[in-house]
Amino acid sequence: MTRDTRNAAWGRRGPSSPDTLFATALLPGMLGMLMATLASGKLERSPGWLVLAGFSGVFLVCHVLFGRGRRVGDPVIFSLVAFLSGVGLAEVLRLDPGLAARQVGHLAMGVALSSVLVAFTPDLRVLERYRFIAAATSCVLLASTIIFGVEAGGAKSWLDLGPVAVQPSEAAKVLMVVFYAGYLKDTRALLRRSSKRLLGVLLPDLSYAGPLTLMWGLALVLLVFQRDLGAAVLFFGVFLLMLYVASGRASYVLGGAALLAAGGAACSWLFPHVRARFIVWLNPWRFMDSAGYQTVQSMFAVAAGGLIGLGPGRGMPHVIPAAPTDFVFAAICEEMGLVGGLAVIGAYALLVYRGLFWASRATDDFRALLAAGMTSLIGLQALTIIGGVLGLVPLTGVTLPFVSYGGSSMIASFAATGLVLRAAREEQEEHEKEEGRVSVEG
Amino acid sequence: MKDSVRRISIAFLVAFAVLSARLFLVGVLRAPDLSAHPRNPRVAAVRRDIVRGGIYLSRGEPVAKDSAPGGPRVYMGPPGLVHLTGYEDARYGTAGLEASYNSELLGLGGESSVASLARNIFAAGPARGNDIILTVDMGVQRAAERAMAGRRGAAVALDPKTGAILAMVSNPGFSPGRISFEWERLVKDDGSPLFNRATLGLYPPGSAVKPIIAAIALSSGVVSPEDRFRCEGAIRVGNRADDEREVSCSDGRAHGDVDLAAAIARSCNVAFAQIGWRVGREKLYNGLQSFHFGVALPFDVPTAAGAISAGGVNLDRAAVAQISIGQGTLVASPLEMACAIGAIGNGGVMRRPYVVREVRSPDGTKLRRTPSTILRVPVPATVARRVKDMMVEAVTSGTARAAGLPGVRVAGKTGTAQNPHGAPHAWFVGFAPAEDPRCAVAVVVENGGSGGRVAAPVAREILRAALRDTLR
């Protein structure tokens, strides 16, 4: 094991210290919030100052509580999350100060949940014991939206709880990954052993095929009853990636992807709303006044930004539909330019890289699968929505993790990150114990 | 498990790299088009507080300007040029150069975002778009408009050595500043006043295409200047003996034995039908294509492609004969005819036509100058020279005498094109001075009758204006 897995690698001072890293990550968001506040014109009593103070406060407190980043599991992941939250909050503040104030609350709850998971989880293996409860809860949450759900933006994925509306599918996603990790750990050996072949393709035995078909069915149910293409892709996509991690067999993933494609094709044949998404994706310009409006407006916004953007408060991101939520990336590109957009994409790339790094280091299978699954969830979600906003893949209504406005999504993303950070911290602690033993013996 | 995690990690990195590339494509490479898209709400927002750039003729004569930041636009240019320069209207959008140079006129693109940010922060007063300077010469344009006054049709004059447009007239016209008041009437008008006949109007060229056919015939090697063709006033062109279709010369006059030069000078249809057959459908078709017939010309405003035939090279005997006299399925725009005849004048080299000479920033610096480029070389210089001499003969002693000017050798060819809409269209194509052409013209007067009587005098006035400094 190399030195960088250990806390000792993070010096107290200098360019690679967690303090420097953390400060660098906070700065762009804070600068953006400052610019958005200045551009709003009313400097006194502007909610911008409160948002700015709330944001820096939440992250600073967390940073300090975790030994200035050293006990947070992975200061890089923590800093990347702070960076993404800051940039997102700055753009939401620029679009709607009222939403930004609420978003600070979501951030505080998310960071708190993440901190609790990192600091107080006795051991991730405890979580493993609750895998079936997690699965059941996840299914109940999904079922609740199918039965009691309220439609918003074409997808029936909201639950109206009086003062607040929540999106249970966000929590269901995280719980489902917990279940996947536990289930795949159990069946790992079986999955790898299967060696029946049909036309040269490795066939899995029933232990694999059963749950896979179940997951496939779940994704289709989501598609059909909830009209939530994004959630379906995420549930099934993350499952396939974790299945690959557990089995090491690309044929499973390809087979699963083929199943999803077939399901998608059947759905687009059966349901006009799914078909419309695909047709619009192929040529949004033909439908720029109807179903392609969002994509076209989003591309206009991205093009308006140029290299460095117009600056927060100087663009016209209000004309993008759903700018604070699904299309926040387009708004960021308009006002922070190619540089801002690439920084956000780069942050996700690095976040995924670090998360998977911890998965590959994990000494425990459950921990590895959990870290890989949570990381893939965030990575896949970012890819899906940014790709949709840029017209690269069909548009699906999912949020950009940490960046989009939305409490359910924010808290779920922080929960996922918290579990990855917890896995990293356990890995380090175990490693330190081992080192200690080695040095005593030596 | 380590290996599969690593592979997934690589797959994610590749996916994020693809995403970055897509962002670069949309945000940078396609940004100029997207930012100037007429349906982009940002364009309207920019327009509200910008002084849109002006359009000026070659010596700085203004054509279109903003009266105040945000408009409305004031038009003061020559009335015959309105189709080319177009209009900008809050309700009816943009047309002509106002449309194709919209982003330059609004100052979108062509400037780095750092520069535009600096301008936004430091500039005093309203932002200004860029000006565009045209190649159109006011003297030639005025002369063309006077000569075309009251006639439905189009005239194009260009410098065959560069491709620069000197004048462009399309009749009837409209008032670009009054578009929103007159729209209903304009779109209902039978004369299609909004239609740019010079670039989009497609007409059978009639005999005006004969110099081109002669050039194709000579460069194909199967026809020599000494070859003679028998004209008895009419010739059967049908595929079978019982097919009675024929091509005849005007008034059924028999020209006797004519060579290529005489066939052009006297516009002998019977001879050209035989020339077409001898060249053969394949070489004829390819030759016309090399002169850019049937293919849209690249230009600053949209152009119509025209057509050689509906079914490509599969022409029957009658179709070959018809095309060789500029009838049948062959149609071309006046701009196309001017470029093609310009190529004959320019030693067989066809220049790409252009009308915007340069884009200038508000402070007067040249942002972009249009270079003169070669579009095609359809025939060798020797062939072009031979055809040019035949065209000179047509003006000195043939059907195009009305285009002659004292003290200068004019090369030209008339056309009287039969069409289903009434009297024949009157055509003239030519250039002057023949030995070193500075102006090539194409004139079409819809249902004007005889090309020699109607179109040739129009061309003469245009050429006179273009050569005014040498004629005096």
- Stretch 377-436 of chain A: residues touching chain B, C-beta under 8 Å: 379, 383, 386-387, 390-392
Buried b (16+ CB within 10 A) or exposed e, B346-355: bbbbbbbbbb
Work out whether strand B73-75 and strand B62-66 pair parallel, antiparallel, or are unpaired.
antiparallel
Q: Are residues B100 and B206 in the same domain?
A: no
Domain stops at, among B134, B168, B192: B134
Give the mutation candidate from A354, A392, A420 for the B interface (greatest B CB count, under 10 A).
A392
Q: What is the dihedral of CA A164, A139, A106, A34, to 10 degrees?
A: -110
CATH, residue B98? 3.90.1310.10
Residue B388: pLDDT band (50, 70, 90) is very high
* Domain limits for position A252: 126-270
Q: Phi then psi for B193, rounded to 5 degrees? A: -65, -20
Whether residue A345 and residue B37 make contact (CB cut-off 8 A), yes or no, is no
Whether residue B27 and residue A333 make contact (CB cut-off 8 A), yes or no, is yes
A348: nearest CA partner in chain B: B16
B24: nearest CA partner in chain A: A338
Whether residue A345 and residue B42 make contact (CB cut-off 8 A), yes or no, is no
Q: What is the dihedral of CA A344, A349, A352, A356, to 10 degrees?
A: -160
Whether residue A356 and residue B12 make contact (CB cut-off 8 A), yes or no, is yes
Domain stops at, among B134, B154, B171: B134
Average pLDDT over residues A17-41: 89
Can you give the pLDDT at residue A229? 76
Q: Where are the alpha helices (H) located in A96-222, listed in sequence order?
A: 97-120, 124-129, 131-148, 168-193, 206-221
Q: How many residues does chain B have?
A: 472
B121 pLDDT higher than 60 = no
B396 pLDDT higher than 60 = yes
Can you give the pLDDT at residue A1? 40
Average pLDDT over residues A41-56: 87
Calculate what percentage of chain A has a pLDDT beyond 90. 40
Burial class (CB in 10 A: 0-12, 13-18, 19+), B182: middle
- Rounded Cα gap, residues B431 and B392, in angstroms: 9
According to DSSP, the residues that pair with A12 across neighbouring strands are none
Buried b (16+ CB within 10 A) or exposed e, B276-285: bbbbebebbb
Q: Are residues B78 and B173 in the same domain?
A: no
- Rounded Cα gap, residues B84 and B97, in angstroms: 6
Give the mutation candidate from A370, A380, A386 for the B interface (greatest B CB count, under 10 A).
A386
B158 vs A218, which has greater pLDDT? B158
- Rounded Cα gap, residues A21 and A32, in angstroms: 18
Can you give the pLDDT at residue A55? 96
Whole-model pTM? 0.70
Average pLDDT over residues B249-254: 80
According to DSSP, the residues that pair with B132 across neighbouring strands are B55, B359
Q: Are residues B101 and B168 in the same domain?
A: no
Q: Which residues of A touch B5 (CB under 8 A)?
A: 245, 356, 359-360, 368, 372
The Cα-based distances of A424 to A205, A358, A421, A432 in angstroms read: 33, 6, 5, 12
Can you give the pLDDT at residue A117? 92
Average pLDDT over residues A176-188: 87
- Stretch 88-147 of chain B: residues touching chain A, C-beta under 8 Å: 112-114, 116-117, 120
A1 contacts chain B (CB < 8 A): no
B44 contacts chain A (CB < 8 A): no
Looking up tokens 């600091």 gives A119
Determine which helix (DSSP H) or strand (DSSP E) holds B9, and give its type and residue range. Answer: helix B2-24
Q: Are residues B282 and B397 in the same domain?
A: yes
**CA A11, A13, A16, A18 torsion: positive or negative?**
positive
Average pLDDT over residues A232-258: 85
Q: Which residues of A touch B45 (CB under 8 A)?
A: 316
Q: Are residues B101 and B238 in the same domain?
A: no
Work out whether strand B246-248 and strand B356-360 pair parallel, antiparallel, or are unpaired.
unpaired
CB B332 within 8 A of CB B201: no
Residue B75: inside a domain:
yes
Residue B25: inside a domain:
no
- Rounded Cα gap, residues B32 and B354, in angstroms: 21
A316 contacts chain B (CB < 8 A): yes
Residue B14: inside a domain:
no
- Rounded Cα gap, residues B280 and B212, in angstroms: 15
B124 pLDDT higher than 70 = no
**Tokens matching residue B168:** 């462009």
Average pLDDT over residues B62-70: 88
Q: Are residues B154 and B291 in the same domain?
A: yes
Q: Are residues B383 and B466 in the same domain?
A: yes
Can you give the pLDDT at residue A89? 96
Output the DSSP codes for A35-102. Answer: HHHHHHS--TT-HHHHHHHHHHHHHHHHHHHTTTTTTSS-HHHHHHHHHHHHHHHHHHHHH-HHHHHH
Whether residue B31 and residue A306 make contact (CB cut-off 8 A), yes or no, is yes
Residue B24: inside a domain:
no
- Stretch 281-310 of chain A: residues touching chain B, C-beta under 8 Å: 288, 296-297, 299-300, 302-310
Residue A199: pLDDT band (50, 70, 90) is low
Residue A261: inside a domain:
yes
B30: nearest CA partner in chain A: A303
Q: Are residues B295 and B379 in the same domain?
A: yes
Question: What is the tally of structural domains in chain A?
Answer: 1
A246: nearest CA partner in chain B: B1
Q: Which residues of B touch A254 (CB under 8 A)?
A: none
Looking up tokens 């016309």 gives B288
Whether residue B8 and residue A300 make contact (CB cut-off 8 A), yes or no, is no
Average pLDDT for chain A: 84
Question: In 3D, which of A94, A84, A87, A92 has the Cα closest to residue A38?
Answer: A94
Residue A349 has its nearest CB partner, among B6, B16, B45, at B16
B343 pLDDT higher than 90 = yes
Question: In 3D, which of A231, A252, A232 has the Cα closest to residue A241?
Answer: A252
A342: nearest CA partner in chain B: B20
CB B463 within 8 A of CB B441: yes
Average pLDDT over residues B391-408: 91
A161 vs A130, which has greater pLDDT? A130
**Tokens matching residue A358:** 């911890």
Domain stops at, among B107, B134, B161: B134
Can you give the pLDDT at residue A10? 53
Question: What is the tally of structural domains in chain B?
Answer: 2
A260 pLDDT higher than 70 = yes
Residue B117 has its nearest CB partner, among A302, A308, A341, at A308
Question: In 3D, which of A201, A176, A200, A197 has the Cα closest to residue A255?
Answer: A201
Q: Which residues of B touch A253 (CB under 8 A)?
A: none
B181 contacts chain A (CB < 8 A): no
For A311-370, list the strands marked E by DSSP.
none
Residue A131: inside a domain:
yes
Q: Are residues B258 and B394 in the same domain?
A: yes
Q: Which residues of B touch A357 (CB under 8 A)?
A: 9
Q: Which residues of B touch A316 (CB under 8 A)?
A: 41-42, 45
Q: Which residues of B touch A347 (CB under 8 A)?
A: none
Average pLDDT over residues A318-322: 85
- Rounded Cα gap, residues A330 and B34, in angstroms: 14
Can you give the pLDDT at residue A309? 84
CB A338 within 8 A of CB B24: yes
Determine which helix (DSSP H) or strand (DSSP E) holds A195, and give its type and residue range. Answer: none
Work out whether strand B50-51 and strand B127-128 pair parallel, antiparallel, or are unpaired.
parallel
Q: Are residues B395 and B317 in the same domain?
A: yes
Cβ-Cβ contacts under 8 Å for B171 (sequence gap 6 or more): B80, B148, B150, B151, B152, B153, B154, B197
B10 contacts chain A (CB < 8 A): no
Calculate what percentage of chain A has a pLDDT beyond 70. 86
**Tokens matching residue B406:** 């004292």
Residue B379: pLDDT band (50, 70, 90) is very high
Average pLDDT over residues A244-261: 83
CB B97 within 8 A of CB B355: yes
Can you give the pLDDT at residue B242? 77
Q: Which residues of B touch A310 (CB under 8 A)?
A: 113, 117
According to DSSP, the residues that pair with B426 across neighbouring strands are B416, B445
Residue A86: pLDDT band (50, 70, 90) is very high
Q: Which of A107-121, A221-235, B87-101 has the lowest mean pLDDT?
A: A221-235
- C-alpha B290: how far from chain center: 16
Can you give the pLDDT at residue A437? 73
Whether residue B6 and residue A356 make contact (CB cut-off 8 A), yes or no, is yes
* Contact pairs from chain A to chain B, CB under 8 Å: 133
Q: Are residues B200 and B329 in the same domain?
A: yes
Whether residue B113 and residue A248 make contact (CB cut-off 8 A), yes or no, is no
CATH, residue B330? 3.40.710.10
Whether residue A342 and residue B8 make contact (CB cut-off 8 A), yes or no, is no
Average pLDDT for chain B: 90
- Rounded Cα gap, residues A157 and A137, in angstroms: 16
Question: In 3D, which of B438, B171, B156 has the Cα closest to residue B299?
Answer: B156
Whether residue A316 and residue B45 make contact (CB cut-off 8 A), yes or no, is yes
Whether residue B16 and residue A352 make contact (CB cut-off 8 A), yes or no, is yes
- Three-class SS of residue B8? helix
- Angle at which helix B334-345 crosses helix B210-220, to 10 degrees, equals 50
- Stretch 341-380 of chain A: residues touching chain B, C-beta under 8 Å: 341-342, 345-346, 348-349, 352-353, 356-357, 359-360, 365, 368, 372, 376, 379
Q: Which of A110-124, A269-283, A320-334, B441-455 has the lowest mean pLDDT?
A: A269-283
Residue A216: inside a domain:
yes
B27 contacts chain A (CB < 8 A): yes
- C-alpha A124: how far from chain center: 20
Average pLDDT over residues B194-216: 95
Q: Which residues of B touch A345 (CB under 8 A)?
A: 16, 19-20, 23
Residue A422: inside a domain:
no
**CA B211, B212, B213, B216 torsion: positive or negative?**
positive
Whether residue A356 and residue B39 make contact (CB cut-off 8 A), yes or no, is no
Q: Which of A140-154, B27-41, B214-228, B438-452 has the lowest mean pLDDT?
A: A140-154
Average pLDDT over residues B232-248: 83
Residue A390 has its nearest CB partner, among B7, B23, B113, at B23
* Domain limits for position B79: 46-134
The Cα-based distances of B113 to A41, B19, B125 in angstroms read: 23, 22, 19
Work out whether strand B55-56 and strand B131-134 pair parallel, antiparallel, or are unpaired.
parallel
Calculate what percentage of chain B has a pLDDT beyond 70. 96
Give the pLDDT confidence of B425-439 residue by residue, as tens digits: 999 999 999 999 999
Q: Where are the alpha helices (H) located in B291-371, listed in sequence order?
A: 317-324, 334-345
Q: What is the dihedral of CA A143, A145, A146, A149, to 10 degrees?
A: 160
- Rounded Cα gap, residues A379 and B14, in angstroms: 12
Residue A119: inside a domain:
no
Residue A90: inside a domain:
no
A313 vs B160, which has greater pLDDT? B160
B29: nearest CA partner in chain A: A303
Give the pLDDT confidence of B302-327 residue by residue, as tens digits: 999 999 988 888 888 899 999 999 99
Q: What is the dihedral of CA A149, A150, A152, A158, to 10 degrees?
A: -50
For B330-438, list the strands marked E by DSSP.
350-351, 356-360, 366-369, 374-376, 411-419, 422-432
Q: Which residues of B touch A338 (CB under 8 A)?
A: 23-24, 27-28
Can you give the pLDDT at residue B387? 95
Residue A386 has its nearest CB partner, among B19, B27, B31, at B19
Radius of gyration of the CA atoms of chain B, in A: 26
A230 contacts chain B (CB < 8 A): no
CB A178 within 8 A of CB A124: no
B212 vs A67, which has greater pLDDT? B212
A349 pLDDT higher than 70 = yes
Calculate what percentage of chain B has a pLDDT beyond 90. 65
A244 contacts chain B (CB < 8 A): yes
B110: nearest CA partner in chain A: A306
Can you give the pLDDT at residue A3? 42
Q: Are residues B279 and B388 in the same domain?
A: yes
Q: Which residues of A touch B28 (CB under 8 A)?
A: 306-307, 338
- Rounded Cα gap, residues A2 and A431, in angstroms: 11
The interface predicted TM-score (ipTM) is 0.91
